[in-house]
Amino acid sequence: MKSACIFVMTVCFCLLCTFSLKAEQAVKVEYLKTAGPMALPFSDAARVGNILFLSGEIGVDHKTMKVVPGGIKEETRQTMENIKTTLEKYGSSMDNVFKCTVMIADMKEWSLMNEVYVTYFKKDRLPARSAIGANGLALGAKVEIECLATTDK
C-alpha cells in the first residue's frame, strides 16, 4: 500500500512539473492593427499561434467610416467584405473561418442577414455560430459579426 502511495505521488509530482514547465512557456500574442484615419481603441485582430481572433466588423465603408446605406442586406454584405479583407490581410481566408458571432439589432431581420451571410462560405464549411440580439451597435449599425479563423502562419 505504501509503495502504491509513493508511486501515485511520484506520478502526480511529474505531471505537476510538466504542466508548470508548459505554463512558463509564453504564448506569443500579436496585436494586428491597420493605421487609419481614426484612432480606434482596438486591434483589427489578434493572432495567437495559428488562430486569428477578428474584432467585430460592421457594414462600414472604410473610406468614409460611415455605415453603408441600403438596409440589413447591404450592411451584411459590407460587413462580410470587411471580414474577408481583414482575413486576407493577415494570412487567412473565408475558408479558414471556423466560428462566428453575429450581433443583430432587430431579430426580425435575421433571415435577410442570413441570405447574404451564407453566400460567403462553402455549403459544407459553414462555421459554428452564435447569435445575440443587440439593443444598439456602433454607429447605429444593424449587424456586427466577429470571427475566428486559422492561418498558415
Between 25 and 66, residue with greater pLDDT: 66
Distance separating alpha carbons of residues 53 and 66, to the nearest angstrom: 24
Instruction: Please report where in the chains the cell 494586428 appears, as a residue.
Output: 32
Taking residues 109-121, report their average pLDDT.
Answer: 98
Between 101 and 29, residue with greater pLDDT: 101
Split at pLDDT 50, 70, 90, the class of 37 is low
Residue 66, classed as helix, strand or coil, is strand
Express each pLDDT in 86-98 by its tens digit: 999 999 999 999 9
The H or E element that residue 80 is part of is helix 72-89
